[in-house]
Amino acid sequence: MSVAFVDREFLDIMTRKKIVLEPIANESTRKATYKKRKKGLLKKVSELSTLCGINACALIYSPYDPQPEIWPPSHGAVRRVLTKFREMPAMERSKKMLNHEGFLTQRIAKANEQLRKLRKDNREKEMIHVMYQCLTAKDLLLNLNLVDLNDLGWVIDNTVKEIDRRVETLTTNVEPRQMLVARFEGAPVDDHFPMNRQPWYMNHAMPAQPGQDAGPILPDVNADNDGNMVQNFYR
């Protein structure tokens, strides 16, 4: 067989390790691998057939034997499955028929899709972090390029949407004051609000925009009797 073999490190092939998908150069390793994997493959076909109650067959031609390795173990049984296969209309057969190249191309497409999605999700996570960082350090914006800024803007908009949704839920269901109490009873305050933690807006010196208020103004409902706002959240 005219296949170009590449030298592969002779390692203990019997251990579970990430395998390099290249033709095995070493003759005896190749034969040993073949024996082991062939056995495993036929076992898997058998299991699939039994577990799902379906017809199946496998043919393996190796340079080590003119006779093919088969499953089911009888020629007759294999022929029956093949006949059933060939009896199907050509369209049906070829719809899910894969040669090696086709199979790999399909897997590549799936992996690409996976990668794209993961990258998108990770990018979103990163930008959310940047967004939170920017709340306390406005200068960070200067390090971002246009791509970053666009993504940041998108993430901000998303967060605002979430906030709006949440506010909607809170105000249409329960009295805000009751909600406040409910939250305290549920929240593990000590873990999240250590006593030395200052509310962020105290450190935050964002210059007021012309025509805008200098800081957040809260409705009375969340203030205590003295009109103190967020300080009450901290113990």
Partner 1 sequence: MAKKSSMGRQKIAIAKIPKKNHLQVTFSKRRSGLFKKASELCTLCGVEVAIIVFSPAGKPFSFGHHEVDTVIDRFLTRRPKPAESVPACQILEAHRNNNIRELNFVLAHLLNQVEFERKNGEELERFRIANEKGVWWELPIERLGTGELEQLKLAMEELRRNVVEQSSMLAGDHRSGMELFGTVDHVHGSIQFQDCEDVLETKPLDHVNGGISSSSAPAFSNYLNFRRDDGIF
- Whole-number Å distance between alpha carbons of 13 and 215: 67
Please give the C-alpha separations between residue 179 and each of 68, 91, 103, 164, in angstroms, as whole numbers. 73, 62, 56, 16
Q: Tokens 């992996």 label which residue?
A: 111
Pick 10 or 85: Cβ nearer partner 1 = 85
Q: Which two tokens stand for residue 185?
A: 């009873």
What is the distance of C-alpha 149 from the center of its chain? 25
Number of residues in the chain: 235
- Whole-number Å distance between alpha carbons of 58 and 72: 7
Phi first, then psi, for residue 193 (nearest 5°) are: -130, 75
- Whole-number Å distance between alpha carbons of 47 and 235: 62
Write out the H or E segment, with its range, that includes residue 116.
helix 100-136
